[in-house]
Structure 1
Amino acid sequence: MNRRKTYWCGVVAAILLIGTAQAADVIPLGIPAGVRMTAEGVVISSMTEIDTPAGAVCPGEEAGLETGDILQTANGVGIDSSETLADVVHNSEGKPIELVGLRGETNISVSVQPVQSTSGDGYQIGLLIRDSMAGIGTLTYVDPKNGDFGALGHPVTDVDSGARLPLETGSIIPAQVVRVEMGTAGKPGELIGTYDFSTELGKLEDNTARGIFGTLTDTSLYAGQSTVSTAEPEEVHTGDAEILSCVSGAQPKRYAVCIEKVTPDASDCRNLSLRVTDETLLETTGGIVPGMSGSPIIQDGKLIGAVTHVLVNHPDRGYGILINNMLDATG
């Protein structure tokens, strides 16, 4: 049986809940931006076996840890970086280490026994972890009254484990698309960007299953632009629409798409099934590629949602989230 594979545009999305957001007047953006954030704890990206005199072992796995777990304390010490955890392990003198953290929304607590490797690198517990990330995405909308923005339409996740990163600090920085790797059947493409880490466009305040949210401090990104209304789910229909996206430089353009199916009650962010019909975009990117996550979807003059991911075997097709689900995530 053939199964359609999906590839999240930028980072993996998680399950959403259908909400009851009120229609709002916002400015669709479609602007590429760098997303920079540090996690509240460290994420187990993968595990590795350690060669010891007694054979190869992975203490973390033997203790019951899993990839995607978030580690927050080690022997009562707050873990804010990979270096902090490495110091605790190095100074353990071989005694068990009590690790506390999260697995999804569930609290976990395990005791890990460090081992010494035959390579002479001191005590280790076999965990490869990540404490921060940076990548390119697309800003979906901004409320000009207060600068509140939404982007991506899915969470920022660990690239290896797929775990949603609990946000500690984050910011939005300028980005430009300098190159496109075209998507083909079975091989997702990608937007390749450059970033200006010396400048901050806004603060990232929440990393949710339905997008990332915060406040833009650089009003020049949307000054003088007109607002549009957000659509209620019952207003969204199959047929012609447009996405606002940037595949070169920093200025977005409108590209034609067709909404082929609307599923307001979908439980996995796949509210909108869409197909790229714009010949220019197809010739440039092959359709939808990672990095286009968050591109606003416009229909009948209203903002109806945002692009979230692409079908790997059909790069001209993808999915989107309804805008009211993004608005609901802001509380």
Structure 2
Amino acid sequence: MLHIVKTIDSEELNVETFFPEKFFDPEASITEHRNVTGHTTSYGIHHLLYFQNICIGRSMVRSKERLLLNVEYDFSSVVLEFAVSVVNLAATDGSKKEWINYSSNQHNILFVANSNFQHIHQPSDNIELIRIHVDPDFFKRFLPEKKVFDPFRKQLDMGMLARLNEFNLPITPEMTAVLQDIMATQRKGFYKRIMIEAKVIELLMLQFEQYENFILKPFCQSIKKRDIDKMHEVKTIIESNLQTPCSLIDLAHLVGTNEYNLKKSFKEVFGTTVFGYLSQIRMDEARQLLIRGEMNINQISDYIGYKNANHFSTAFKKHFGYNPSELKQ
């Protein structure tokens, strides 16, 4: 089964890889590959893990220039797609029509069948994508028998290019924790396979549950536009004050609301709490600084607002599943 990735505007990367046959082999054991790609304008760390029905790929990339990638599949797969950290990732279908567009901290579920895409990555020092390919028959075992899922089920049965939701939804802290458990597990062999399969099923549950809640009660339907704008203003304030973050009361006063509405509205708009978002962007900024290699761990800890480097290292490992010293190496 062929999975092809090619750059459009550069000859530096032109890769054709066969999708792991173990994805289709019921007798296959769990297999992992880790590799690094380096070119004059981009650098990436890639982790691939697979066994029957499931193939997980995680890529962390930095690129000085826009990346245009052709992605081709000659087989059918359901893809749990998590754009952990991107700068406006767009994907177009074979007709060059934009099919999906991700911002950071968004996810969706896709169905691809003999499909061609063009992925457009904007320049960034901090691109992280996790894609979990799941065999369609395996996926159908867990797809809820509810009306809200019928359109996706129908497209799946017809072999049509499809996405579960017209709108990408926010990656919740629960989803982040499950993804971290998958990527950081120290289990081996059979037990690792059981653990990962269980975690993928848990991710499906979280995505299905969030989607159903969204359909029944769309995010932000009870919030006025001016209040949504206030939440985006809060988000900007948080991003601009990593070293000395504002209290909830101060944030509320700065945008003209109260603490209760701030907490309620922020979570409804962004799918996470104020402090959950603060922690997320601190960790993302720390990882970006580590990749650049211009500051040591103590300096980074201080830069993003931690008074103690050990506390920072603990928080970093809890968030990403590995120590900051491992990334710096």
Please state which band the TM-score falls in when normalised by the shorter chain: under 0.3
The TM-score with structure 1 as length reference comes to 0.23
Q: Which structure features the higher share of strand residues? A: 1
The TM-score with structure 2 as length reference comes to 0.23
RCO higher in structure (CA 8 A, sep ≥6): 1
Larger Rg: 1
